Structure 1
Amino acid sequence: MPSESTAPRWDVHRLPRAEGRSVLVTGGNAGIGYFVAEQLAGAGATVVLGSRDAAKAEAAIASIGSRVHGARVTHVPLDLADPASLGASVDALGLDRLDAVVHNAGVALDRPPRRETGAGHELMFATNHLGHFALTHHLAPLLTATPGSRIVTTGSFAAKSERLDPDDLQSTRDYRPKRAYARSKLAQMLFAVELDRRLRAAGSTTSSVLVHPGGALDALTPSRPPVRVRTTGERLRGLPLGLLLQGKEAAAWSAVRAVLDPSVRGGRMLSPRAFGLRGTPRTEPVWDHLTDTTTAARLWAASRDLTGVDPTFTPPAGPAGAAAGG
């Protein structure tokens, strides 16, 4: 496997071919997740859209099919706010191996009141973090069966200036929607870094990679009917912002590289080249507070208790397992 320093320069418009590879994209029916799915399908991968809404998923599949000849895209029902349902969703994939999962789906509330899931968990923390934590557990056998598989987690700039309160992970005190969202994304990112640490300790060949999309605006995003149509007014209003930010098509580039680039290593973060806001993706060190192993361990233990599962990756027995641990 080439190192990042010796690998050819990554070209977002000339992706390596990915025939025979299967990728699950959570929230792949809209937004950044849609463009991740479209670009991976364009490279030849078989893409599964994980979505609660079958009609929106079918619209996304139709849109991708209209742009990518011979696209192989399917849908699996996926409700990250209900961790107890995720085992059945993974069974519905009908796969015996999985090359990558992109943990992309998320919910962001911008005003009170505080909302809870049916299981009594704060909605953003449950969807953005706990759901992906539990999904990783259920996907572990499929990912373990695929040498070099990837778990790609989409973070957010919102998490950069936040810190977790391990004693109030679900924002039961002084609920502020934007802060609760930022902390839910921080939890997701801490989990991704801790997961890679545990994968390495277990001798697994699966890697956990962080990405963040930069500044992604609808006004800078090309239309994809029937998924979404950008109006002329939106396009014109977005033109000045294009100097600093980018659309969701470009925001997908980091995740796509994290899936396809053989030189990418686990425990790293990919972000847009220009100040982390726009441009082609590059590797950067993870933020300092994401390396807090004490907080990460407390978060992991709390997530295990709240979901009732514990993501573990055991290398397969025999020569492959021995090689992975060497």
Structure 2
Amino acid sequence: MPSTAPIKPWDVHRLPLATGTNILVTGGNAGIGYFVAEQLAGAGATVVLGSRDTAKAETAAVSIRSRVPGAQVRWVRLDLADLFSLKASAEALHLDRLDAVVLNAGVMLDHPPRRETHDSHELMFATNHLGHFALTRQLAPLLAAAPAARIVTTGSFAAKSERLDLDDLQSTRDYQPKRTYARSKLAQMLFGLELDRRLRAAGSTALSVVTHPGGALDSLTPSRPPVHVRTTGDRLRGLPAGLLVQGKEAAAWPAVRAVLDPAVAGGQLWAPRVFGLRGLPRPAPLWDHLTDTAVAARLWDASCELTGVDPSVGL
């Protein structure tokens, strides 16, 4: 059950030391994932960027090292749309333990047609949910070797207004890209919460926490050339939106706190403070449909079948 203990003040610019910890950030080469990785490296963690594009991953690692003196950061090739490759990616970490994984990577398509992976799964559902579901199982031995590992799943505010169609998880009927994306993120969030319930039932010391970044715009995001370049014009055009949303540096704060704050409990949802869209990270009430344990359990079983993953938690 989520903790009811008072939440202590948190300074996003003065993070607790994470020296000696190993953390994998999927999609850590760009966007919110990049800033999650940069902030965790700044706290002293050894950070591994998981990315399907090795050139972009190396560029991101160089950028982090330039901003964080002495940063321990490297990358591993990770293609979440290729389920067969995930075992090799986990082995390529060459770690004796993994203290945390931030399941952040994702793909969002704006227009039809519907696309499938080599495994014949719809691309967004496969990458955002099934890939992370299968990766977590591959990482289980490394996470179990840590004294108190954390699995942090990055959801989306877009999932708040959606519901899963358990009879059409692959969106084979009436494919609508934005809805399919939102449902894939909802599946991720349900997975993160169901995972924590199973960890608690197994007596595990690992925790599973769900976050969402709120609203994040490139125009409000500080430059990190060549990873991200914001012009003066971009910044000025984005100022009005800053009343409601934020940049990707701030959008990384919920995930970073979910990894580092000792007060964070398994089964919690962490989100921006102001209407869930911007501001400092805080624990937020679970949306009603996130509390549906029957749907989460059915999704878990379906995910096991679609990925060929052993249904046991293994942590």
- Pair in the same fold by TM > 0.5: yes
Cα distance in 1, alignment partners of residues 253 and 157 from structure 2: 16
Match of 1:292 in 2: 292
Question: Following the alignment from structure 1 to structure 2, what is the Cα–Cα distance between the partners of residues 275 and 160?
Answer: 13
In structure 1, distance between residues paired with 2:148 and 2:286 = 21
Give CA-to-partner distance per residue, 1:105-160, whole Å, 9 cap, x none.
00000100000001100000000000000000001111111121100000001110
Unaligned runs of 5+ in 2: none
Task: Name the SS of the counterpart of 1:246 in structure 2.
Answer: coil
Question: Which residue in 2 is equivalent to 1:274?
Answer: 274
Give the drift of 1:269: 0.5
Contact 1:269 1:284 in 2 (8 A): yes
Q: Where does residue 81 of structure 1 map in the other structure?
A: 81
Is 1:247 paired with 2:247? yes
Q: What is the alpha-carbon distance in structure 1 between the residues aligned to residue 264 and residue 310 of structure 2?
A: 26
Describe the SS at the equivalent of 1:163.
coil
Residue aligning to 1:57: 57
Aligned mates of 1:7, 1:156 — CA distance in 2:
23
Matched residue, 1:183: 183
CA distance in 2 between partners of 1:260 and 1:159 (Å): 25
Trace 1:143-292 onto structure 2 (pairs within 5 A): 143-292=143-292
Contact 2:137 2:314 in 1 (8 A): no
Tell me the distance in 1 between the aligned counterparts of 2:201 and 2:288.
21
C-alpha distance in 1, partners of 2:129/2:247?
25
Moved over 6 A (4+): none
Asked if structure 2 preserves the Cα contact closer than 8 Å seen for 1:141 and 1:313, the reply is no
For 2:15, the equivalent position in structure 1 comes to: 15
Shift of 1:244: 1.1
CA contact (8 A) 1:216 1:246 kept: yes
1:285: Cα distance to partner?
Answer: 2.0
Aligned mates of 1:311, 1:56 — CA distance in 2: 34
- Structure 1 unaligned residues grouped into runs of 5+: 316-326
CA distance in 2 between partners of 1:286 and 1:80 (Å)? 27
Q: Is the 8 A contact 1:144 1:313 kept in 2?
A: no
| Letter aligned with residue 64 of structure 1 | I
Question: Does the aligned pair in 1 maintain the 2:301–2:311 contact within 8 Å?
Answer: no
* Equivalence map 1:82-101=2 (5 Å): 82-101=82-101
Q: Write the distance in 2 (CA, Å) between the matches of 1:119 and 1:257.
A: 35
The answer on whether the counterparts of 1:136 and 1:311 sit within 8 Å (CA) in structure 2 is: no
Query: Separation in 2 of the partners of 1:147 and 1:306?
Result: 31
C-alpha separation in 2, matches of 1:268 and 1:7: 12
State the match for 2:115 in structure 1: 115
Q: TM-score, normalised by structure 2?
A: 0.97
Contact 1:4/1:264 (8 A) holds in 2 = no
Name the residue aligned to 1:322.
Answer: none
* Secondary structure of 1:96's aligned partner: coil
Asked whether the 8 Å contact 1:76–1:89 carries over to 2, the reply is yes
Separation in structure 2 between the aligned mates of residue 69 and residue 120 of structure 1, nearest angstrom: 44
**1 CA distance for matches of 2:310 and 2:286?**
24
- Identical pairs, percent: 76
Q: What amino acid maps onto 2:105 in structure 1?
A: A
Q: Using the alignment, how far apart are the partners of 1:308 and 1:265 within structure 2? A: 30
Contact 1:130 1:303 in 2 (8 A): yes
Matched, 1:45 2:26: no
**CA separation of 1:50 and 1:311: change in aligned 2, threshold 3 A:** farther
Superposition TM-score, scaled by structure 1 size: 0.94
CA RMSD of superposed structures (Å):
1.1
Q: Which AA in structure 1 matches 2:214?
A: G
